Structure 1
């Protein structure tokens, strides 16, 4: 359906530096030597994205205890991310990619099915980047609800 290039396990995770909710630059290289979940979502403060972000928030301690950090990326501007973080009490960084450059490099932007129609947009996706910077898990078209529990089972966390 889509010509979007997808990452696979073993691929080098594409480097990025994006602004967080406060405009501070955050890079994938900031997490070098540790595991990090990088997840892509369509829009802050929408029902599905709120559910997913709150699930990551509610499971963050267990993920951190297992040595895994979490970073979320969407096309939202930093000001919208800041409001989302404050409203939902999120305790991990959300990054802004309004040009969708990083989303595209990670295969998380392109054609997808939405209510039976093919549209172009953010493909809800989750990746686990290993300590060496390679992709250890690549999951596309994930569900907002129940995804974090499944991810924890997959990672034995």
Structure 2
């Protein structure tokens, strides 16, 4: 897994969100961006994480951050997830893993003794110039906004 690190320039990416809108890194030029990767929409941990970010969205925006959630789910699944929990930020439906691979968050995982390939739950804080300022590798789903603001 070749994950982006602090100081790395984020490669420009383009992907569709849950509504089919095209979103690119360049849309956020001049803004601070939080890109959070999660394994699967509507699963318990991912729901807790995204709801924590939703509940702290205004605080994050007050600090100048825009948010972007990313998983390999379909646009339909992402739309259902967003609508059910009323997320105010876009969710990328990265089915072909363009963004996932650009950030290097796809790789071997272990769960209950089984090994498989999947998305690692990680968050990237990107500055106004498109450079990674910080990587949160051990995401606390219940307290994620506090980790970002720390």
Q: TM-score range by the shorter chain?
A: over 0.9
1:104 has 2:88 as partner: no
Residues 10 and 30 of structure 1: CA distance in aligned 2, closer, same or farther (over 3 Å): same
Distance 1:104 1:127 in 2: 14
Distance 1:130 1:13 in 2: 10
1:82 has 2:55 as partner: no
Superposition RMSD in Å: 1.3
CA deviations on 1:84-127 (whole Å, 9 max, x unpaired) are: 11100111010111111221221111112323443210100100
Please list every run of 5 or more consecutive structure 1 residues that lacks an aligned counterpart in the other structure.
none
1:34 has 2:37 as partner: no
CA deviations on 1:56-85 (whole Å, 9 max, x unpaired) are: 100110110111100000001111111111
Distance 2:109 2:75 in 1: 25
Distance 1:26 1:149 in 2: 26
Distance 1:113 1:148 in 2: 26
1:8 has 2:5 as partner: yes
Please list every run of 5 or more consecutive structure 2 residues that lacks an aligned counterpart in the other structure.
none
Match of 1:72 among 66, 69, 73: 69
**2:145 match:** 148
TM-score by length of 1: 0.90
> Size of the alignment, in residue pairs?
150
Tell me the CA shift for residue 143 of structure 1: 3.4
Residues 108 and 68 of structure 1: CA distance in aligned 2, closer, same or farther (over 3 Å): same
1:52 has 2:49 as partner: yes
Tell me the CA shift for residue 48 of structure 1: 0.6
